[in-house]
Structure 1
Amino acid sequence: MGLMSLEGTIKDRAKKSSNAHFMLIDGMSKLMSEHFKRCDSLDFYASDLKWKLIVRSDTVKGSISFYLWITDSRCVGPNWEVTCSFKLSLVSQTGHDLCKPFTFAFNAKQDSWGHNNFITHEVLKKDGFLVNDRTVFSAEITEVKPKFLHVNGVSRNMGTAERLKLTEVSRNNSKFTWKISEFSSFNGEHHSSHEFTVGPRIWYLVMYPKGISDGAGNSISLFLHVSDYVTDVPKEATTAIYKLRVLDQRPKRNHREFRAECRFSSNSRHWGFSKMLPLEELYNASNGYLVNDELYVGVEFLFLSTSEYL
């Protein structure tokens, strides 16, 4: 089944399913190989409450874990509770779906439920669940009974669907390096690089020469920020797997680098490290990070995921 045909099938099924959400993961092999450790769906609503789907590859070796997570902003404090029945499913592209029903209470101590060993990689590759590196997950929520929450409880007439695409960043366009001259003259709290494009997004780096948070006064801090999309195509959150670096200018090239897997959204537009490099190590000439008052910092992108509603 081609991508357009699969997307059409999912949208048709969503229209016929109230309180349901379908998530097509395009690039499933990158999750199974643990390049990505988890995939979060876009927000969706069921019975006037906000939810997400979570698919993980790092909980049980050789298996995929699948959970339903309640994320509504009204679910705060120690007393709230939502009891519901829900069905987590893998949509077969050639035969019968794999469905597992649950009835649980979501509360402050347990805001997600599901299965740590929902399906093994071996079974996933059979019965039409993995076709052309694409897999479809879904959840249908029924019998929602909130406690101590002001919700109307009205079910939607139709479900929703999304496409989440996992891609490896081309080596030709994966790195950005920022040369900072006259580093000792940077007296402001933070400084930003020029913007650059990787994948569908515009990015920039922000450096705190004297640190921030728990790095204040003892380290330089470095963060990756996301800006706009390159095109006007409506997309939502972007997950990036990347390395932030302070470059060693000696022939040894012993860079200080940290790897991160972060989800950039409208509410979380920057991620990084407040203790990127201790100032003591930065100013030690033998380390090669600061040479002739010049510092090089950068980022290397490894993988990106983008999501959009269908």
Structure 2
Amino acid sequence: MYALSAAITATNTKTTHLIVMPLHLSIRFIGDIETRNQTIISEFILLGISEDQKLQPLIFSLFLIMYLITILGNLLIVLAVISDSNLHNSMYFFLSNLSFTDICLSTTTIPKMLVNIQTQKHSITYIGCINQIFIFIAFSGFENFLLAAMAYDRYAAICHPLRYTVIMNSYFCGLLILLSSFMSMVNALIHSLMVLHLSFCTKLEIPQFFCELAQVLKTACSSALINNILIYFMGCILVGIPVSGIIFSYTRIISSVLRMSSAGGKYKAFSTCGSHLSVVSLFYGTSLGVYFSSPFTNSPKKAAVASVMYTVVPQMMNPFIYSLRNKDIKVSLKKLFGRIH
């Protein structure tokens, strides 16, 4: 059987010509067109925190201030660690990497949001969205591993003080950073490549100020079941292992500190861990709070506002936590400002 693939055309001699095509080829041809229409998209629409035009100047100013504070605060931490030889040890090596990661995380999301508010365009290209997903997942995972490495560093310093420099040598610290970055990038690459296999239709609005993976999957026409399974599977492994390491480290630290007879020794040990515990609580507290509250949040706007708590606030607060609670950082920052003046 043959299917008609073109209209009948008349000629001067009143002769008609018929162009026919096998039915299975016609169906395949039409299917290819429909597939291309679904997958070839140019951009996503980022709805942001609020669509109220009166609130846009306030949102712009607020996020600009938070971004500048984040960049300046974390940059000062990095410069202080680099410039002061007294801070050239494993603890501050991890801290400088944490500050660098916070800078990259904030730069991945906030500048694009500020540009969209300023231009009132509220869009991001398809490739730009995929890149944003990759970078955000990569640096979020890297921060997750860094917090675990910092917890182990505190465990080695308090529980094995005589062997601390041997355990946390430069080779081992560098290996931890390389391994953490590799695993984070592989995880981000897997999720990004899986998004490329999805088909997207007409409704490409994302109720967020950045391309959050979970929200992007909701706009897909094709099944995102495998993508969601990967999110939970990789999350359980790549979050579960570092969190278990942090819990193990602090269980041993608390047990060791409670056995100390000196009150001064206990205070010094807890003050050493205070900054890191605050950062860990802020990072995981905000992330898990948003994660567990999302099923009960019907409003996409409330979810977008809640996401600020784990994408913006921890990165802004980390420099303050370390600079206010750490004497070495305070001294180093005074020296740094003294050189500038």
TM-score with structure 1 setting the length: 0.23
Q: Which has the higher helix share?
A: 2
Higher fraction of strand: 1
- Kindly indicate whether structure 1 or structure 2 has the higher relative contact order, using CA contacts under 8 Å at least 6 residues apart: 2
Pair member with larger Rg = 2
